[in-house]
Structure 1
Amino acid sequence: MSEPTAKGDNRKRGNIRQRGKSLQVRVYAGIDPVTGRQSYLTETVKGTDKAAHRQAQKVMTRLQAQVDRQRGPDSSVTLSYAIDEWLKTADIEATTRHGYVGYINRTIKPALGKIAVNKLTARALETFYAELRRCRVRCDGRPYIEHKLEGDHDCKVAKCKPHKCSGMANSSVRQIHSIISGVLNAAVRWEWISTNPAQIAQRPRQTAPQPDPPSPAEAARLVEKAFALDEDWGTLVWLVMTTGIRRGEACALRWSRVDLDEGIIEIRRSYTKLRGVGQEKDTKTHQMRRIALDTETIVLLREHKARMQQRCHELGAKWSENSFVFTSTRGSDLNEPYSPDAVSSRYKKMATRLGIDTHIHALRHYSATELLTAGVDLRTVAGRLGHGGGGATTLRVYAAWVAAADRKAAEVLGSRMPKRRP
């Protein structure tokens, strides 16, 4: 198809073409001002029968109207289009982007995608958030959502799947709000709208953190079981328990960042897997930190390093200080780090066999609460955990344990005061 190249060109602005068992609608949207390339809006309609062709014609009309609105001086683009443009330019880490796209495709676009960004209001957003908190699929009170038959029918006779409302967590709705706000901020910068309604829209309250660390007795059983299963595995669990590092940080740790003479480890990177592909990235707070090690941990890491070097020698491979401290349990590749998901899964199974309801991240809570209960100052604990804000995050998450440490501090000071005579 020849595309229009100048104003007044009467050639077709779009077409419908078959792609397998679907129809693709393609509408010319002009020249991209940045790349200089021809831009298109596309949408797919399932099926190839007459009904599908009629639906495709409606889609093409809608897309052509959208292009006209985008070119009009007094109109605005749709939220769906704004989201797509924002995703092209936003600097977002791969794992975060994956989560955002899930929220966008499942929740945001189906509900608000067709609304023009200049028509979105704070009230509309607050209503949307309230609907999600009531029911994540926004069922409007309908008892059946997934129907087996089209048209009028008796759902009970057709055995349609009954629906039970399940509200979305406040944290998830806040995440959705963050995405919408980011998109609308971009729309303001791009002069599509003058103000961002998400900035004044009321979002759900942030749920208070409720850390549930294992007790000292449970922690002892967990680490003892870990060493009984595997010395390498036991060392990993021990290190997470004594330092409070995140699972991804433990998996990304390299021997070049472990100073056994000084008793220090440097946390610079985190490791993650997305769709089976592993990658290193910055830490959660994008900051490097150094954590001091106790004597017993240094001994365990020396023994672990010796085992790794011996294993490397047996495999006929050359040892490198840049090797990962904890490597994959599959095969003989000493350069493949332990998968964070595998760490979580193995730990959960181990805890379940011991009859302890916990997860690997709770060891981070254990480290923090034990230090605070022992009277270690808030800033030091925050530094070891890698919390930003100079301890504000640590105080918010572990407020109860900070209060206990404060009580202990009061008793210490009181015991040193001169005794009053009766």
Structure 2
Amino acid sequence: MAGVENGSDRRGRGNIRRRGGSLQVRVYSGVDPVTGKEIYLSETVPGTDKAAYRRADKVMTKLQSQVDKQRVPSTNVSFSYAIDEWLRSSDIEPTTRHAYVGYIERTIRPALGEMPVNKLSARNLETLYGELRRCRRRCDGLPYIEHKSGDEHDCKKSKCKSHECRPMAQASVRQIHAIISGVLNAAVRWEWIDSSPAKVAQRPRQPAPRPDPPSPDEAAKLVEKAFGLDEAWGTLVWLVMTTGMRRGEVCALRWSRVDLDEGVVDVRSSYTTVRGIGKEKDTKTHQIRRIALDTETVVLLREHKKRCQELFEKLEAVWDEESYVFTGARGDLTEPYPPDAVSNRYKKMATRLGIKTHLHALRHYSATELLTAGVDLRTVAGRLGHGGGGATTLRVYAAWVAASDRKAAEILGSRLPKRPPKGSVEE
């Protein structure tokens, strides 16, 4: 028999121990590089007779082979520890990191943090996703009060309410899956686990995109109202509507990247704020693109640039072509208009007009109007900054592409020679 029934025979690399009505096979596989603790592989064999011992010998040989081939997880640290190491070592954009940390602290760490990373299974992940699709708080289904404070308080005065289950959005659950997958892929690279259970776990289906652009009539009202409030604000709304630029891209736009003679905007960066601190970064798809401007937009930008130069002169500031096209709402000429402030102002303006929309819908408006007018998919994708040669544009705006295709068919049909009616052909 390999090993002995009692005690640990590390020099023999393993042992077989009797545990009730079964045998436990243990094989020493080294020291955890993170925790410093000894690691053992173990497996239980039913029975205690001679046949059971023979089976146990085979199991020990199998486990020792796994150790020799280094297919054994090298650590049993918690998933929470793996998350921290992944966050510390990964190159993630500040805004993306901020969103990830929110998901981690609210959902992932409370659910899976204490579990050893090498014990995490696809079933654990799918169970979590199912719970989130039922209730974002992962409640047990029993009624309880959601308290506004953790301290002693008067629920009536604090307006504490009974909990109502609300499912987490499919897109959010997919984001959680992406974070977990990133951590587990790193654990594989670090040889903490053999394979990632996230690769085989069934992740939530990607929800179908539902762009909801304003109608042409609504768009006209929004632009008219924007210019009525402020010429600079009106120019910003007009530019987003005609170019389809993202809000961060229009906020990061500098005059040095606007060629009014050629009628072209050079989109190279995006502006973002995290906890009140703003910075420029690459565009969402890390692309640099040039967007052609129509004559009316060029005229509006010329007038806007003249107003900006006059404002600089009035404030005795030195004009610089590196100045932002749309400067800070508080009068700071060196800071761009904050993206959140742009969205909030637009939302309030639309609400006052009785239009249910948001700033990003202007991007949808630009895309759908171009497609409906028969502009080819690749050109529209280029203006929007979509990658994949138009695959993203097609997925998001499939309905409008179909309408454009129908229009193209009608145009082609109208250009073909008319077929003579039956019986009218001369014999």
1:369 has 2:337 as partner: no
Distance 2:161 2:381 in 1: 49
The residue aligned with 1:174 is: 174
The letter of the residue matching 1:200 is V
Unmatched segments (≥5 aa) in structure 2: 1-32, 42-74, 422-427
SS at match of 1:67: coil
Root mean square deviation of aligned Cα: 2.1
The structure number with the bigger radius of gyration is 2
Deviation for aligned residue 1:329:
2.0
Distance 1:374 1:400 in 2: 14
SS at match of 1:97: helix
Alpha carbons of 1:309 and 1:148: their partners in 2 closer, same or farther (altered >3 Å)?
A: closer
Distance 1:206 1:110 in 2: 25
The residue aligned with 2:106 is: 106
SS at match of 2:354: coil
Counting only pairs closer than 5 Å after superposition, residues 14-413 of structure 1 correspond to structure 2 as: 67-69=35-37, 72=39, 75-144=75-144, 146=146, 161-331=161-331, 333-413=332-412
SS at match of 1:72: strand
Please tell me whether the aligned partners of residues 139 and 145 of structure 1 are also in contact (alpha carbons under 8 angstroms): no
SS at match of 2:101: helix
Distance 1:148 1:273 in 2: 28
Deviation for aligned residue 1:418:
1.2
The superposition leaves residues 102-131 of structure 1 with CA deviations (integer Å, 9 ceiling, x where unpaired) of: 110110010100111111111111111000
Distance 2:149 2:252 in 1: 51
SS at match of 1:118: helix
SS at match of 1:139: coil
Distance 1:388 1:118 in 2: 36
The superposition leaves residues 334-390 of structure 1 with CA deviations (integer Å, 9 ceiling, x where unpaired) of: 111001111011111111111111111100000000000000000000000000111
Deviation for aligned residue 1:72:
3.3
SS at match of 2:35: helix
The letter of the residue matching 2:122 is A
The size of the alignment, in residue pairs, is 351
Alpha carbons of 1:367 and 1:91: their partners in 2 closer, same or farther (altered >3 Å)?
A: same
SS at match of 1:171: helix
Alpha carbons of 1:148 and 1:396: their partners in 2 closer, same or farther (altered >3 Å)?
A: closer
Deviation for aligned residue 1:73:
6.4
The letter of the residue matching 2:366 is S
Alpha carbons of 1:345 and 1:394: their partners in 2 closer, same or farther (altered >3 Å)?
A: same
The residue aligned with 1:26 is: none
Deviation for aligned residue 1:82:
0.3
Give structure 1 regions of 4+ aligned residues with deviation exceeding 4 angstroms. Answer: 145-150
Please tell me whether the aligned partners of residues 118 and 192 of structure 1 are also in contact (alpha carbons under 8 angstroms): yes
Distance 1:348 1:207 in 2: 24
Deviation for aligned residue 1:148:
10
Deviation for aligned residue 1:67:
2.9
Using the size of structure 1 for normalisation, the TM-score is 0.80
Distance 1:161 1:308 in 2: 51
